[in-house]
Amino acid sequence: MSQGPVASGRCTPAWPKDALRITFGVIWLIDAALKWLPGFRSGYMGTIMGEAQGQPGWLQPWFNFWIRFQHPQATLLAYLVAVAETLIALALIAGFARKLTYSAAIVFSVLIWATAEGFGGPYTSGASDIGTAVIYAVVFAALLALSYYAGPSRYSADYYLEQKITWWWKVAETRRPAAAEAPAAGTPAAEPPAAQVPGVLSGSA
């Protein structure tokens, strides 16, 4: 008995992944706006030093390194954090350089989790969660995976830039889009089948 037809293409719409990306970008934009407030800059170093308190001995060298590194230029680094979060938020909303943005945001989120959030402190007394930045990193990794399986995003700046700049897919897509794949140079084009003349038998004189 023959089986039912098997779907050869995607049946689900592509816009949900774009909605997820844009919504996440708005969340990051709100978070970035808070980083521009004077209170963040004034309390930036205190947050880092506070997270170092109560850490186990084997993690103290890590936090001591970041305290010594950031303390002389704490205000500058606070501004850099605000700039980085703003750029990530705008890139998410616009869909600009998605592969590069997702990859950089994963590193940035893990770094924030490992410093300002003290790894979430799941090993310390009274800890109730593992921190938010590591969850952000997981979401960015999920967006990176979605871009691999779903391909180019129509509702993004990348979609239009890829049509103008041949190499842009390298910073926007996790794999080369099928539309951008061109036949190798020198490959002869397939010849169309020979036309058959009605009424003339094959092989007749």
- CA of residue 93 relative to chain centroid, distance: 12
Q: Which two tokens stand for residue 145?
A: 């995976």
Residue 130 CB contacts under 8 Å (≥ 6 apart), including other chains: 119, 120, 122
Q: Is the pLDDT of residue 185 over 90?
A: no
> Tens digit of pLDDT for each residue in 95-106?
999 999 999 999
Q: Tell me how far CA of residue 94 lies from CA of 91, 101, 145, in angstroms.
A: 5, 11, 19
What's the DSSP call for residue 72?
G
Q: pLDDT digits over 124-170, tens only? A: 566 666 888 999 999 999 999 998 888 888 899 999 999 999 999 99
Q: Is 188 left (phi over 0), alpha (psi -120 to 50) or beta?
A: beta
Q: What distance in Å separates the CA atoms of residue 186 and residue 184, rounded to the nearest whole number? A: 6
Q: What is the pLDDT of residues 41-54, one digit of tens each?
A: 999 999 889 888 87
pLDDT band of 123, cuts 50, 70, 90:
low
Q: Residue 200 has what pLDDT?
A: 47
pLDDT digits (tens, 9 = 90+) for 9-64: 455 567 788 999 999 999 999 999 999 999 999 999 998 898 888 788 888 899 99
Dist. CA 111–CA 190, nearest whole Å? 53
Whether the CB-CB separation of 151 and 10 falls below 8 Å is answered with no
pLDDT number for residue 57: 85
Phi-psi region of 45 (alpha: psi -120 to 50; beta: other; left: phi over 0): alpha
